[in-house]
A and B are shown apart, each in its own frame.
Chain A
Amino acid sequence: MEQIHWVRHRWQQLVAAESGRGRYSAPDAVPTKSSPKLHNAQLTGKRRTVIARHGPYQHEYDSVSKGCQGNGIRTTKYSLLSFIPMNLFQQFHRVANLYFLFLVMLNWVPVVEAFQKEITMIPLVVVLIVIAIKDALEDYRRYRFDQKVNNNVATVYSGKQQTYVDQRWQDVRVGDFVRLSCNEIIPADMLLLYSSDLHGICYIETANLDGETNLKQRQVVRDLPQGSELTPENFHSRIECENPNNDLSRFRGYMEHPSNARVGLHNDNLLLRSCTIRNTETIIGIVVYAGHETKAMKNNSGPRYKRSKLERRMNMDILWSVVLLVIMCLTAAIGHGLWLRNLEEASFLIPDTTSPALAGFYLFWTMIIVLQVLIPVSLYVSIEIVKLGQIFFIQNDVDFYNEYLDSRIQCRALNITEDLGQIQYVFSDKTGTLTENKMVFRRCTIAGVEYPHEENGETAKSLSCKSLSCNRSSVSLHTLTGHSEGEGEETPSPTLPRHSAFSSPMEKDVVPDPFLVQKLNCLSSPLFLLTDASMELTYIVDFFMALAICNTVVVSSPNQPRHVVQVPEVSRSPLKSLEDIKMLFQRFSLPRFSTLSPPHTTESTRSFTGRLFARGKPATFTPSPSPIPTKREHGSWKDELIYEAESPDEAALVHAARAYHCTLRGHSLERLLVELPGMGSLAVRLLHILPFDSTRKRMSVVVRHPLTKQVVVYTKGADSVIMDLAELPKGAEQSESRQGHIREQTQKHLDNYAREGLRTLCIAKRVLEEEEYEVWLKRHAFAETSIENREELLLESAQRLETNLTLLGATGIVDRLQEEVPETIEALQRAGVKVWVLTGDKQETAINIACACKLLRSTDHLLTANCGSKEACKALLLELRAEMECGEAAEGTSGFTLVIDGRTLEFALQEDLKGDFLELSRCCRAVICCRSTPLQKSQVVRLVQDQLQVMTLAIGDGANDVSMIQVADVGIGISGQEGMQAVMSSDFAISRFKHLRKLLLVHGHWCYTRLANMILYFFYKNVMYVNLLFWYQFFCGFSGSVMTNSWVLIFFNLLFTSVPPLLYGILDKDVSADTLIKLPELYKSGQNSKAYLTSTFWLTMLDAIYQSLVCFFVPYFAYAGSDADMLSFGSPINASSLLIILLHQVIESRTLTWLHALLLMGSALFYFSFTLVFSVVCVTCSPPNNPLGVDKLQMSQPLFYGVCALTTMLALLPRFLFQALHNSICPSDTVKAALMDQLNPDDYCRRMQRWNQTQAQIKTRSLVIDVEDSDIKVPDPDFRLPSELKEGSAATGSLLS
């Protein structure tokens, strides 16, 4: 394998050198850092140096960028010249093709030659051609696509013309300056050097890369001269960065100016290829990675290849076929040897000196050629085609269509469709998978006081989720209402009805809590006093301030196209106005504020803000003379804001803040524009953003407070983390007790929220002293510029900042269940699938959601496992086992559910405890793992999969589910709110959890049954046909003769009988979709591999042997002793075997449509017409056994038909009878369901009800048995066969009594 890779690599390099363009590189095959290092001495270690191509160091440029690739891409595997050798080379990696090749070569050895040389090559050639055509088409499509991409035009700086000219993408080189305008696609990975935005910001949309539609902010490299457009000639700096790699979220390097000053470069400076520039007029960047070295291309790996369980099973049986083949060949070889020994000299023997033993040995190989069809090599090709067909139908299922997203199911893995029908364990993420991941701000607690927002909950319920229809990306939705008249203006605004007529998305629709509004109103009330209440008010204002600014939300407005810069509007032309505002504020309010540290207001500000708000409303907007004319501009876009956030929580919080008039108006790199109640718009200087990461579980912003001018850190994060960080400040006792009280209360409220199933976030702040900040800033700057271990340094730096926080409060966000989740889970459980929920959420939240989605029932016995050490964990596991054992005797509990938290899980997953853990969880009906990390999720999946030998399915929507999705046998991604990482790594991508029901119960069942049946049929078909040839050996001295023309022999498998099985594998339908949905129990047949058991395989084999015996010996006796020649004897055998094989399929098929009829008839007609024409035309075309006249004569004789009819009937009789008896005497559930399908609607309903009732009874009984069963370690979960069930329940009954 290594060598092959090397050869391929080498070869591709040659090709690349020839064409002067990039090379295709499979990500795994080519080490990422090798080539530039080899070529370029300038590159030290893992670094790459980039200098401007047309800059001052042109002489140096060539040597520096020699090792860098051009920007042309080539994703094709082949070129026109190399197609045939390369494709053949690749195809012969398959064992099946090698087998064919081996046979062909064998046939070239004269002593073993069985057929004409050309004929043995046909199967190989056909398979090779079919696959080559498929590859060629795919490759051509890639080529066309590459061409399209390579010929895109970008504006690149040209050294000759001293200006920017249009160039094709493929001509862009590392070191080029590229200028892009809004909505253009980035041609290569570039360092952002200039942006028309005054703050050096530019926005990119990475939808092409990861599917996330929200905008991401990129910024110009620090310390570059801004304002004027950059001139490439004067670009003296040198860029040192990492060698190309595939980490999208990491970029490290520095830029060295001529003055030797170094500026750190990071991911925020890098524009990634194939992203789109948004909201920014012009940008200029220098290319650092081009073509295949870009991160986008490095991340591009082909479709995933998983091998399905069924296929593994099948490979076993193929080995059995090989064994059978060897046995048959050996029999023939030995037979031939003995036969020859008994003959001395006969006129029909060609004089030969080979000994009988040697002749037997030769014959062994001849027989392998003759009986080659026994190994169903074409099965592999057929399976591929069938799976494509199955996927075609899955993708076209209208039930998987999501109108709101305009998306259907995506099948990313092409070869595990049948695994969908055998799933035993489902591991589900919670957020975004079971729930909508559409966050609605529901409650909050500020300073220890809870605001329940009851109305909010009401409206949330009344609104159906269907109101989302107008916008696809739920994060960027219209802003609406939420702007209630806080100022006590009674005038009913005429605009309001119109607003509410708009579809109003949930997360924006926050109805403020009246008490909170009241308190906020105090802010602008004249009776405002510096009391305890004002202290609380400080908390409230800070709280909402934090909600509004502690995020990475991008603000834009919907009435303008997205790219039209909204923030620059604030910052560019109205920069004057912003300054004006500041000045105004200083004039109006600051004198007072500066004296009082907690912000409160006076009458003058109140009237000012009152005026401000009055003008702010569009309805009352009149161009009245005003001291602040620019305000009106702001008023006009007040209600039209779009918040684009990276996570829905953020958006929900911003909208919540907005409902309290704490509105985020603009968000730029350095400034935030926030509107505060009673204070109007304030520009807040943004000093730093410490973005969210999963280790810290929090994010912070460092701002200079607009009023107090202090440096303030606002932190928002998971309650567990923030609660720990919110240390009691050492100092004033009063505040200490106050903080203690707040903490206590908040914790109480948090617990409540969690119980209600809300997602909780804590908000805290910290005021930094100037010196403190200076010290921190220095070290932070160091961390930012370092290339090595920068992440660690940054983490450390963030941790230094986020200490001693003052807890402000907490929020509770509700995340509603998706529609039909409980039904889906119930159906899955009825189908015998165990559902585990793995979530990062808190235990209470998880349990709550589990209850809501009926995973947990009220009758269930809950086992919780939380412990702090391994020993405790071990003890706990044993204790729970014991509890379960005594619990099972008690009536009333319908099952056990294990709830385990992350820490305990970590112990439980360790080597010596995982056995206990598995034992315990196996007996539980459901398991909920909360507070689990992505790694743990995948560990759990792997543990269950490996230890219990079951089929697992993991479903999730976020990046944290990726590892789990990849580990599981089937990974399903939900294309939801959290980007596309999960989808990108999944095998199937659906848009709602409820689709899982049909996907598994219907398509999974169908795909599995179809494929299993088709594979069995293929085995049957080959064994049946090949044995005919084998029986003939007994009558031709084991000499390897065949009684058929070799063309017909080869075509029999390749043409005459190949198409109907495909149709059978694609279209057969044992039970209708409706019934499968209604009776999830039917899914169990797939779980237990009912359609393809070892016994089924051998039964099929036996039947095949019987049929071939009949098919050979009936004609044998009919023609024995007659003057029939070989071909005349073979003709009825062939014809009847064809009829048998086709009719066998009719018996096995559950559905026959006109397509089936067409193809079956077509196949038969094709055979008969082919042989007829062949027998008329072929005079000397097929030596030695030219079929001239044979079939024509045969088919004109009644005997032929008499033999065919008898043979066909006799051969099919046992299977026909067996099926009928089996279906009558002990029908399987599937058959019963199929019988139900045929009833009239009334009977159908009645029968369905009865079935469900019986099922319910069985379930209550069987649960007890289940526990019993597992306790005595009966590994087989398949005990629900009717007869066994009776015994089982009887046994339990006696046990209970």
Chain B
Amino acid sequence: MMASNYNAKEEDGHQPAAIGHGGAGTVKNKKPDNTAFKQQRLPAWQPILTAGTVLPAFFVIGLIFIPIGIGLFVTSNNIKELEVTSQLIVPCYNCSQSYSWNSTKPCTCSVPFSLDQPFESNVFMYYGLSNFYQNHRRYVKSRDDSQLNGDKASLKSPSKECEPYRTSDEKPIAPCGAIANSLFNDTLELYYIDPNGSRTAIPLVKKGIAWWTDKHVKFRNPGGNDNLTVVFQGTSKPVNWRKSVYELDPSDPDNNGFINEDFIVWMRTAALPTFRKLYRIIHKKPNMTPTLPLGRYILEVTYNYPVRSFEGRKRMILSTISWMGGKNPFLGIAYITVGSVCFFLGIVLLIIHHKYGNRNHSADIRS
């Protein structure tokens, strides 16, 4: 709109000249409107940052941040977390050294560990991988979301992005792509060793580990709740998989096929090369006993997943959760540091303000 005003003059000679030709017919007054907007006189807040004006801000920030930081730090400290690195233990180390995708016989090993303090409330059990670049560009792309969403056409002809895990033996792979192909397939089991030496299996709940939206919206089996074996007829399982997608959890039809929660969790690619993924939940017991009492435990690992080729490491993490997520002291410390720095700077500014601010308002502006 604005442009049209100026280009009016470029036209050519036909345009009546703007100036000096106020013939009798020119009634229109060209005087610009004397409005605050057009004269650039809109009421405005003009913040000029000087030591004097900003120093309250620094104190305020300091005063707000330090308590928040302390709060976060305390919260984080209250979270109980335990990490078990399985490869460090000899049997599992052997497994990890010898195991590859081609191995047919699973390698099992057990890792003993102990809790120094009991875990109350719900305990989340994670598996962790390090040096695993789930965020590699081509890896991330190698999936077909329509297929996973239950689209039958995509089931039969998956997206080109899935190459080279798109077809196998001229049958489409379901689920296609590198992410699915590299599904974490270790089995972890947890046993509590009573003081008397007997092993009690700890109940691990596999429901609710995936996001609600993923489980109910993003991932769907083709054909809804039909017989999965029939639905996946004519497709092939991913190369590295031992069993087909419809055999992931035959016991529970709500956890089978594409909506298998372990599968869904894996498909949500981790942001960083060292990551953990939720594996199971250990629900709080109804009575007052802690979820995991202190004592000795054994982690039974069915070793299927090779990580040696990329120098990866596997971990198992047990953790409780607070309102701000898992254990991470960083944020609390950072808040406290920033708050203190602000407070300190506030004091520095106060000094500067006393030294220069007065001079600024004193006699000679130019001195």
Assess whether A934 is interfacial by the CB under 8 Å rule.
no
Inter-chain contact B138/A1235, CB cutoff 8 Å: no
Inter-chain contact B10/A302, CB cutoff 8 Å: yes
Query: Which residues of the other chain, B, contact A473 by a CB distance below 8 angstroms?
Result: 20
Given contacts A1150-B46, A1151-B45, contact A411 B136 (CB under 8 A): no
Assess whether A890 is interfacial by the CB under 8 Å rule.
no
Inter-chain contact B164/A351, CB cutoff 8 Å: yes
Among A346, A1130, A1193, A1238, point to the contact of B48 (Cβ < 8 A). Answer: A1238
Complex Cα spacing A571 to B146, Å:
94
- Which residues of chain A (1162-1177) have a CB below 8 Å from chain B? none
Q: CB-nearest residue of chain A relative to B334?
A: A1206
Chain B interface size, under 10 / 10 to 19 / 20 to 34 / 35 or more:
35 or more
Give the distance to chain A from B6, nearest Cβ to Cβ, in Å: 6
Inter-chain contact A406/B29, CB cutoff 8 Å: yes
Inter-chain contact A137/B9, CB cutoff 8 Å: no
Of A95-103, A800-808, A941-949, A1116-1124, the segment with at least 4 beta carbons within 8 Å of chain B is: A1116-1124
Of A237-245, A757-765, A1183-1191, the segment with at least 4 beta carbons within 8 Å of chain B is: A1183-1191
Inter-chain contact A1184/B39, CB cutoff 8 Å: no
Inter-chain contact A980/B19, CB cutoff 8 Å: yes
- Which residues of chain B (224-270) have a CB below 8 Å from chain A? 240, 268-270
- Which residues of chain A (894-920) have a CB below 8 Å from chain B? none
Assess whether B347 is interfacial by the CB under 8 Å rule.
no
Assess whether A410 is interfacial by the CB under 8 Å rule.
yes
Give the distance to chain A from B134, nearest Cβ to Cβ, in Å: 6
Assess whether B366 is interfacial by the CB under 8 Å rule.
yes
Inter-chain contact B133/A1180, CB cutoff 8 Å: no
Query: Which residues of the other chain, A, contact B57 by a CB distance below 8 angstroms?
Result: 1216
Given contacts A1036-B273, A1128-B271, A1247-B365, contact A389 B2 (CB under 8 A): yes
Complex Cα spacing A1206 to B335, Å:
7
Q: CB-nearest residue of chain A relative to B22?
A: A472
Inter-chain contact A1041/B38, CB cutoff 8 Å: no
Assess whether A1153 is interfacial by the CB under 8 Å rule.
yes
Give the distance to chain A from B323, nearest Cβ to Cβ, in Å: 6
Given contacts A211-B20, A1126-B135, contact A1153 B42 (CB under 8 A): yes
Give the distance to chain B from A300, nearest Cβ to Cβ, in Å: 4
Query: Which residues of the other chain, B, contact A234 by a CB distance below 8 angstroms?
Result: none
Complex Cα spacing A182 to B149, Å:
80
Inter-chain contact A350/B12, CB cutoff 8 Å: no
Assess whether A636 is interfacial by the CB under 8 Å rule.
no
Most A-side CB within 10 Å, residue of B29, B51, B145, B338: B145
Assess whether A892 is interfacial by the CB under 8 Å rule.
no
Inter-chain contact A273/B13, CB cutoff 8 Å: yes
Q: CB-nearest residue of chain B relative to A1122?
A: B326
- Which residues of chain A (1231-1277) have a CB below 8 Å from chain B? 1231-1232, 1234-1238, 1247, 1250-1251, 1254-1255, 1258
Assess whether B117 is interfacial by the CB under 8 Å rule.
no
Q: CB-nearest residue of chain B relative to A1239?
A: B361
Inter-chain contact B17/A1184, CB cutoff 8 Å: no
Assess whether B324 is interfacial by the CB under 8 Å rule.
yes
Among B7, B54, B164, B269, point to the contact of A138 (Cβ < 8 A). Answer: B7
- Which residues of chain A (1068-1103) have a CB below 8 Å from chain B? 1069, 1073
Inter-chain contact A395/B5, CB cutoff 8 Å: yes
Inter-chain contact A208/B17, CB cutoff 8 Å: yes
Among B49, B212, B276, point to the contact of A1147 (Cβ < 8 A). Answer: B49
Inter-chain contact B269/A406, CB cutoff 8 Å: no
Of A52-60, A500-508, A1196-1204, the segment with at least 4 beta carbons within 8 Å of chain B is: A1196-1204
Q: Flag A562-573 by CB within 8 Å of B: 1 or 0 each.
A: 000000000000
Query: Which residues of the other chain, B, contact A401 by a CB distance below 8 angstroms?
Result: 30-32
Assess whether B93 is interfacial by the CB under 8 Å rule.
no
Query: Which residues of the other chain, A, contact B212 by a CB distance below 8 angstroms?
Result: 1189
- Which residues of chain B (117-133) have a CB below 8 Å from chain A? 126, 128, 132-133
Assess whether A207 is interfacial by the CB under 8 Å rule.
yes
Query: Which residues of the other chain, A, contact B26 by a CB distance below 8 angstroms?
Result: 406
Of A32-40, A257-265, A450-458, A1218-1226, the segment with at least 4 beta carbons within 8 Å of chain B is: A1218-1226
Query: Which residues of the other chain, A, contact B138 by a CB distance below 8 angstroms?
Result: 350, 1039
Among B12, B40, B143, B326, point to the contact of A297 (Cβ < 8 A). Answer: B12
Of B186-194, B196-204, B289-297, B350-358, the segment with at least 4 beta carbons within 8 Å of chain A is: B350-358
Inter-chain contact B13/A209, CB cutoff 8 Å: yes
Inter-chain contact A1224/B357, CB cutoff 8 Å: yes
Inter-chain contact B365/A348, CB cutoff 8 Å: no
Complex Cα spacing A74 to B45, Å:
50
Assess whether A193 is interfacial by the CB under 8 Å rule.
no
Chain B residues within CB distance 8 Å of chain A: 2-7, 9-22, 26, 29-34, 38-40, 42-55, 57, 61, 65, 68, 72, 101, 126, 128, 132-146, 149, 151, 159, 161, 163-164, 178, 181-182, 211-214, 217-218, 240, 268-278, 306, 309-310, 312, 323-326, 328, 330-331, 334-335, 338, 341-342, 345, 349, 352-353, 356-357, 360, 363-367
Known: A1120-B272, A1123-B270. 17 other contacts (CB 8 A): A75-B11, A141-B4, A208-B14, A213-B20, A300-B11, A347-B306, A396-B38, A408-B30, A1037-B133, A1073-B40, A1121-B272, A1121-B276, A1179-B145, A1183-B159, A1202-B72, A1217-B345, A1250-B364
Could you list some 20 contacts between A and B, CB below 8 A? A137-B4, A138-B3, A211-B21, A274-B13, A347-B101, A349-B139, A401-B32, A410-B18, A975-B20, A1036-B133, A1121-B275, A1123-B126, A1123-B276, A1150-B46, A1179-B217, A1192-B213, A1209-B342, A1216-B57, A1220-B53, A1224-B353
